[in-house]
Amino acid sequence: MASQPDPQTQAPLTVGILAAGTHPVQTIYLPALQALSNLYTISAIYTSISTSAGSQEPTPTPDTILTNPSISLVLNFMPNEYHELYTIAALQAGKHVMVETPVSLSIPSAKRILAAERDAPNGARVFVACARRYAPCFESVFKKEVAALERIHYARLRMIAGPHIAHTATSIRAVPGKDESGPEPVPAAKHGDNETDHGQDDDSSSEDQASRLRDLMEEVFGKDEQPNRERIALSRFLASLGCHDLGIMRDTLGYPDAISNISVNEPFYSALFHYNGSTGGISKRKHPFTLMYETGTDCVPRCDAQFAVLNGQMSAAG
């Protein structure tokens, strides 16, 4: 068996960052990468919004990073509509990729990314960023407490959040007095405030992002069904805050066997997830139980979040 490389002697990975804005980069990723300077060296940062990226001077286009032979790892924090485009481009250039969750908005899109990974030169791999999956409090405390429960009778996952610059879940709102059930053009959320990587102005950049979103929604809902405003809002929400909630639920309990009582009342959503023991994970104990999921976002500045797993004598909550 081949020995694993020693992190203490392995040369640091040279990193290029693609981002739509600098807030998460400055507050989360740069401090983390700088704290691990023995493992990572930041070579270049592209942001579609013309602003400072800390002490690093932004590069003019994503291609500057994708074609740089010295960069071995690309962090793809572009909008969801561009996850597939830049992840595949980086893989084809033989670079490892960490793409922000969700990996994409449709299953066919995710499969295209996996196909690109299989064919990638240099053994390039793709990794999906997960906010909680490897957190010590989740791995070493919460999951162990859940596993120690002899039987699960009920579980509840709740996330009601106010507006925040780090996510876009509040970017779509119903127009008062307008019918929300009929077809609605896909909103053209702006890719950036200035020229983008393709040399486009604001309007053409927005059109490109809207076109990509339409294509992804067509893969989700089918060619013959135009997604309405509520479906677009739900898709955007699940790709913003919802994917983190559903990810921690899956990592703790496994995949549910069935879903029922789905309520879509934008901007609030709820559903019942049923576990009967056939999916593995914690539910392998064969005792059926139900998880109540409720989530949404509004204009009240707070974060009301809890994941609780209960039985008759004790519970695990985080």
CATH of the domain at 80: 3.40.50.720
| Residue 110 and residue 83 share a domain | yes
| Residue 179 and residue 75 share a domain | no
What range defines the domain where residue 58 resides? 13-128
CA-based nearest residue to 285, from 152, 138, 145: 152
In a domain, 289, yes or no: yes
In a domain, 33, yes or no: yes
Q: What is the per-residue pLDDT for 266?
A: 87
Q: What is the per-residue pLDDT for 203?
A: 60
104 CB contacts (<8 Å, ≥6 apart)?
80, 83, 84, 110, 113, 216
In a domain, 213, yes or no: no
| Residue 118 and residue 260 share a domain | no
In a domain, 313, yes or no: yes
Residue finishing a domain among 98, 128, 158: 128
pTM of this prediction? 0.80
In a domain, 291, yes or no: yes
Number of domains in the chain: 2
Residue finishing a domain among 128, 150, 173: 128
Q: What is the per-residue pLDDT for 9?
A: 66
Low-confidence ranges of the chain (pLDDT < 70): 1-9, 49-56, 164-204, 277-286
| Residue 46 and residue 124 share a domain | yes
Question: Do residues 53 and 20 make contact, with C-beta atoms less than 8 angstroms apart?
Answer: no
| Residue 110 and residue 143 share a domain | no
CA-based nearest residue to 281, from 248, 306, 307: 248
In a domain, 217, yes or no: no
| Residue 143 and residue 122 share a domain | no
| Residue 165 and residue 93 share a domain | no
Q: What is the per-residue pLDDT for 167?
A: 56
Q: Does residue 121 have a cis bond before it (omega within 30 degrees)?
A: no
Helix axes 229-237, 202-221, angle to 10 degrees: 90
Residue finishing a domain among 92, 109, 128: 128
Q: What is the per-residue pLDDT for 192?
A: 36
Q: What is the per-residue pLDDT for 185?
A: 43
6-44 pLDDT tens trace? 656 678 999 999 998 777 788 888 898 999 999 999 999
Q: What is the per-residue pLDDT for 292?
A: 97
**Cα separation, 271 vs 254, whole angstroms:** 16
